[in-house]
Amino acid sequence: MYDIKQWRHIFKLDPAKVISDKDLEALCMSKTDAIMIGGTDDVTEDNVIQLMSRVRRYPLPLVLEISNLESIMPGFDFYFVPTVLNSTDVRFHNGLLHEALKQYGHMINFEELIFEGYVVLNDDSKVAMLTSATTNLDIEDVEAYAQMANDVYHLPVLYLEYSGQYGDPDIVQAARHCLTDTQLFYGGGIDSFMRAEEMGNIADTIIVGNVIYENIKEALKTTKIKERT
Ligand code: 1GP
């Protein structure tokens, strides 16, 4: 089976956005390690099924990052379940997970479920607003979250989420130093090979989203980090 720990690069597709067959093929045939389907707004059963069936034609791992209960469905290789460590709303720590387990707990294959500790860092992002995240964090705050993920909760993944904004490499580096077992995901504002390389040198895995819809050529170039590892 697939080994997430080896993944260096993921394209994140938003089911609420339009992508042509040609662009989707280019992404799926690129050197990326996986496609993740996930978004914040307007994620529905319908648009997730549509996108899943289009990506399934290609031989690469497919992940659903759970954003709401309505759009959970079988057919993915993995289900990434976020817990937003800096949210002030308990629903985004374990409230939605609790609901999901009540409904689907009996049919979940827990080998496919990956619990992601999110730290949301862009105050202007939809995800920060939705989750009521405390985003004005300094290096010590982020280090404490990294310790929490690695040493206390033993989470498989810590995801530094700058969605829509390029992050601060010093913050990402600080988190890196606290992690021995937990895999570090970085996402936000990667719109060129240079940025992919900079964050890819610090994080274990980079997530590339928006640029897919803004500049497909630049999006594809970010996969070149795979040639260097
Ligand atoms: C969003 O972390 C991902 O959840 C990627 O961010 O869309 O800014 O690339 P961008």
pLDDT, tens digit (0-9, with 9 covering 90-100), for 129-180: 999 999 999 999 999 999 999 999 999 999 999 999 999 999 999 999 999 9
- Asked if residues 7 and 205 have their Cβ atoms less than 8 Å apart, the reply is yes
Q: Quick one: which atom of ligand 1 is closest to the CA of 211?
A: 9
If pLDDT is split at 50, 70 and 90, which confidence band does 227 have?
confident
Instruction: In whole angstroms, give the CA distance from residue 39 to residue 115.
Output: 17
Structural domain harbouring 146: 4-228
Q: What is the CATH number of the domain that holds 49?
A: 3.20.20.390
**Tally of structural domains, the chain:** 1
| 180 DSSP 8-state letter | S
If pLDDT is split at 50, 70 and 90, which confidence band does 197 have?
very high
pTM: 0.97
Q: How far apart are the CA of 228 and the centre of ligand 1, in A?
A: 22
Is the CB of 82 within 6 Å of ligand 1? no
**Over 80: is that where the pLDDT of 229 sits?**
no
Q: How far apart are the CA of 13 and the centre of ligand 1, in A?
A: 9
Give me the percent of the chain exceeding a pLDDT of 70. 99
Is the CB of 209 within 6 Å of ligand 1? yes
The one-letter code for the residue type at 112 is: E
Q: What is the mean pLDDT of residues 91-106?
A: 94
Q: What is the mean pLDDT of residues 45-50?
A: 97
Pocket probe mutation, ligand 1, options 185, 208, 211, 213, max atoms within 8 Å of Cβ: 208
Instruction: In whole angstroms, give the CA distance from residue 161 to residue 188.
Output: 6
pLDDT at position 1: 80
Using alpha carbons only, give the angle 159, 182, 221 rounded to the nearest 5 degrees: 50
| Mean pLDDT, the chain, integer | 96
**Over 80: is that where the pLDDT of 228 sits?**
no
Q: CB within 8 A of 109, min separation 6: which ones?
A: none
Binding site, by residue number, is: 12, 14, 40, 159-164, 189, 209-210
Instruction: In whole angstroms, give the CA distance from residue 199 to residue 173.
Output: 9
If pLDDT is split at 50, 70 and 90, which confidence band does 37 have?
very high
Q: Quick one: which atom of ligand 1 is closest to the CA of 159?
A: 2
Is the CB of 208 within 6 Å of ligand 1? yes
If pLDDT is split at 50, 70 and 90, which confidence band does 97 have?
very high
Q: How far apart are the CA of 106 and the centre of ligand 1, in A?
A: 32
